[in-house]
Structure 1
Amino acid sequence: MSPDEILSPREIEIASAYAQGDTYQAIAERLGIAPSTVRTHLATIYRKLEVSSKLELHARLSGAPPDAGMQTDHAAVISELALSLEEALRREQALAEVLRIISRSQGEIDAVMSAILGFALDLCEAEFGILFDHHGERRFAATHSRGIPDPFRDWLDAEGIFAVSPRTGLGRLATGHGVVNIYDVRAEELFQTDDPLRHATAILGGARSFVAIPMMSGDQLAGAFTIYRQSVRPFSAQATALAQTFADQSVIALDNARMVSALRSDTRPP
């Protein structure tokens, strides 16, 4: 049977996009679904088409017959292992690309941070992300973002540097300098109060699950690397570790930008 006879129209659309190189995030944005839903569809697609790699998927969609060696009763396990391997390779490629971008940035921090946030959202299956600078005494300012809903971005722009409650995610991060992983921002008691940041995050941003990673410069809190899902799907330890890696790279990028800026200032004619 051909793929068109085996897969639903939505599965065909997702399979074709993935085989052509689109990421979970790109497919999710185009179809208006969560990145995790894309992955669930792909696991089903791999099992139905009896493939174990993106190359095999591309071949099957192009008319190649299924691999006669794949046993149907093992198909679900094989499809899961195949996707997990591809995701591991994608993580390695993304981190290598981030390092390449940082090394060639010449201090162009906006482009670098946009790329870092983009990779983080894709690999952590999140809808949007924000990098906050810390200005001391639980005061933050959103300096870079990716995928953020317009109403939330407008609110952050209007606030500029703002103080946060110690009960918010950013407030807890500023106090303890540790990762803050919130199952559902609407489920916490804080959401029932008039806290402006929690209201903006949940209502204007539509966020539900949230993780904030401290960005440390030595022993000083430099900022927070935050990513958000618009459904209740807590971040796993693996996703949090990935976010920590991207937060660490963000600190490196910011330090590099400051050094480049300082060197340019020193070389300017008096």
Structure 2
Amino acid sequence: MLSPREKEIAAAYTRGDNYQRIAAHFHIAPSTVRTHLATIYRKLGVSSKIELLKALEGEQPKSKSSEEQATLISELALSLEEAISRERALSEVLSIISRASGDVQEVISAVLGYALELCDAQYGILFAFSPEKGFKATYIKEIPLAFQTWLSEQGWFHVNPNTGLGRMASATDIINIADVRMEEIYRHGDPLRDATANLGGARSFTAIPMVSKEGLIGAFTIYRQQLRPFDDKSLQLARIFADQSVIAIENARLVSEIGNGRDK
């Protein structure tokens, strides 16, 4: 049922290769890989990588009703559309970075905007980090006014090591909090957690470290105002956007250094 190319892509996918690796190997776009996989799933009547592997090994898939088939096709179509949207957004962010000429505000605003849209979050903050001064909300997007005012009044501030930002800084790793109101630090009245939950209306929250060659330089945080924890796909997207923010900041720094060199 599969063409030779479809068999090769299916085999690579079941071995654990991701879209990018498969695309690089066959010299095609990642979106083309997704299109092939959608066709493969439809031809074989499978709905998961495990079922795909069994089908490639010769096991006949269990028969599905027409309703189940229709559900499978619709889910695959939606997944494909979401994947293409992510790819387009990332391409647009890279394009903005290349055109920005050191305008960090423009880039970060775009990055945060795409992150909120693709991660289905209400607002986002990019915190700058200094070992001596702590954190400062440097860039914000769609943040509630009361929370924005509170952060502006704080300026640079140090955080409790048990907050999401504190744990992220200590571990230099993603911190994903399912419900900010259920943790003990909220019940103890920590100022940052109190402002996040009560002024920002946040329920689910994730913080992603922004790391350059000098070490931790900030945090990329996104918030949902309903109780809906971020899944692995959302966390992966958020990490990508955090990395793009680091690139934008580093580019701006380089442009500034070049400009200062010309002035001398």
TM-score relative to the length of structure 1: 0.71
Name the amino acid aligned to 1:99: L
Shift of 1:174: 1.0
Which residue of structure 2 lines up, in the alignment, with residue 143 of structure 1? Answer: 138
The CA deviation string for residues 114-138 of structure 1, in whole angstroms up to 9 with x for no partner, is: 0000111111111110000001157
Separation in 1 of the partners of 2:178 and 2:84?
28
Name the amino acid aligned to 2:222: I
The CA deviation string for residues 121-178 of structure 1, in whole angstroms up to 9 with x for no partner, is: 1111111100000011571000001111111011111110011000000000111111
Contact 1:185 1:198 in 2 (8 A): yes
Mapped pair 1:103 → 2:95: no
Unaligned residue ranges in structure 2 (runs of 5+):
1-65
Equivalent in 129, 149, 152 of residue 147 of structure 2: 152
Separation in 2 of the partners of 1:190 and 1:172?
12
The CA deviation string for residues 194-252 of structure 1, in whole angstroms up to 9 with x for no partner, is: 21100000000000000100000125101000001001111111110110001011000
Which residue of structure 2 lines up, in the alignment, with residue 211 of structure 1? Answer: 206
Separation in 1 of the partners of 2:192 and 2:132?
16
Equivalent in 167, 172, 179 of residue 177 of structure 1: 172
Separation in 1 of the partners of 2:191 and 2:231?
27
Which residue of structure 1 lines up, in the alignment, with residue 5 of structure 2? Answer: none
Unaligned residue ranges in structure 1 (runs of 5+):
1-70
Contact 1:138 1:164 in 2 (8 A): no
Divergent runs of 4+, >6 A: none
Separation in 2 of the partners of 1:239 and 1:106?
29
SS in 2 for 1:134: strand
Name the amino acid aligned to 1:210: F
Which residue of structure 2 lines up, in the alignment, with residue 121 of structure 1? Answer: 116
Separation in 2 of the partners of 1:244 and 1:73?
34
Shift of 1:76: 2.2
Separation in 1 of the partners of 2:137 and 2:109?
13
Name the amino acid aligned to 1:128: Y
Mapped pair 1:198 → 2:193: yes
Equivalent in 209, 212, 223 of residue 228 of structure 1: 223
TM-score relative to the length of structure 2: 0.73
- Aligned residues between the structures: 199
The two structures, once aligned, show a CA RMSD in angstroms of 1.3
